[in-house]
Amino acid sequence: MKKLVLPLLLFMFLTGCNDDQKTLEVNDIGGEESEKVKIIMENEEEIYSGRAIFVEDQLLVAVQAKPWLDYKKTKIEKNLKKKLEESFPEYDITVSSDYKLYWEAQKLLKEDDGEKLKKKVEKLKKLKKEET
Amino acid sequence: MEQEKFDKIEQEITPRTPYVKNVLKAFFVGGLICTIGHAITYFYIIFFDFTEKTVGNPTVATMIFLSMLLTGFGLYQKLGQFAGAGSAVPVSGFGNAVISAAIEHRTEGFVLGVGGNMFKLAGSVILFGVTSAFVVALVKLILVSTGVIEW
């Protein structure tokens, strides 16, 4: 029994980091914009998952940085925001790698009521700015 | 000659400290405490309006509160005996140090006993914590202003 513990642990450690499948989700507005966002996120090497929410003139993108790249989150956010701004100059873009925004974005993906959606996105933008 | 002989005999008789075993125990118990802390972090993120940036404060407060309860019930000292540094290094060890000192000096009265001795152990944690935080912030400030890293 004791001899099995070490190989088992090693196995768990090694399989934990073996997942290259990217999960990308965009809320349903139709048109080429959602495809465009998906392509941009697909090309971003440093993230493993991303969710984008379009509402009126707002675009909220919540991503998750790869575990070992957690320390340069702000840089990843900045780069992605720059790329998105080039493709969507007419949108007010918010990019975040925070887990809170990522989690809330999942709920917003299913939200159909435009008014509510906008309110929630505004709230998330405010949360992102909070420091303490 | 006598002294050397004594030293030799002493070394033969003293049981060897099981360093590897102690380190492993500390590693796993410390890791377990940190896993619980992380679970609390996600709890606050998911059910309350905290972001990764702001969730640190309520998490630390909860961990200290839990370890204070455990200390009061006499359970944390058992854990400390088993895991050593694994239970002392995470922030829950801080709560333990505060409450155990308070309990120990309870008989000396509230002001001079509990109040005066509560931070006997934890005081040094606060002092060196603040000092090292200042030094780290200084290093970061220098690195940021020279352009090596960003905020």
pLDDT tens for residues A62-100?
999 888 887 788 888 888 999 889 888 888 899 998 999
* Inter-axis angle of helices B76-83 and B19-47, nearest 10: 130
Q: What is the mean pLDDT of residues A108-128?
A: 86
A2 domain residue, yes or no = no
Name the band, by pLDDT with cuts 50, 70 and 90, for residue B145: very high
User: Would an 8 Å CB–CB cutoff place B21 in contact with chain A?
Assistant: no
Query: A44 is in which domain, residue-wise?
Result: 21-129
pLDDT at A19: 57
Question: pLDDT confidence of A17, banded at 50, 70, 90?
Answer: low
Mean pLDDT across chain B: 92
Residue A50 inside a domain? The answer is yes
Pick from B103, B105, B49: nearest CA to B72: B103
Please judge whether B53 and A74 are an interchain contact, meaning their C-beta atoms are less than 8 angstroms apart: no
Whether chain A has a CB inside 8 Å of the CB on B5: the answer is no
The pLDDT of residue A25 is 83
pLDDT tens digits for range B81-124: 999 899 988 889 999 999 999 999 999 999 999 999 999 989 99
Binning pLDDT at 50, 70 and 90, where does residue B61 land?
A: very high
Instruction: Answer whether residue A98 is part of any domain.
Output: yes
The answer to whether position A7 is within a domain reads: no
Is A119 a member of any domain? yes
CA atoms in the 13 A half-sphere facing the CB of A110? 4
pLDDT band, residue A18 (cuts 50/70/90): low
Size of interface A-B (CB pairs under 8 A): 30
Of B42, B50, B151, nearest to A74 by CB-CB distance is: B151
User: Residue A85 is part of a domain; what is its CATH number?
Assistant: 3.30.300
**Residue of B50, B57, B151 with shortest CB distance to A100:** B50
Q: From CA B124, how far away is CA B102, in angstroms rounded?
A: 15
B20-36 exposure pattern, b = at least 16 Cβ within 10 A, e = fewer: eeeeebbeebbeebbee
Number of domains in chain A: 1
Residue A6, domain member (yes or no) = no
- Specify if A3 maps to a domain: no
**B20 touches A at CB < 8 Å:** no
Of the partner residues B49, B53, B55, the one whose CB lies closest to the CB of residue A131: B53
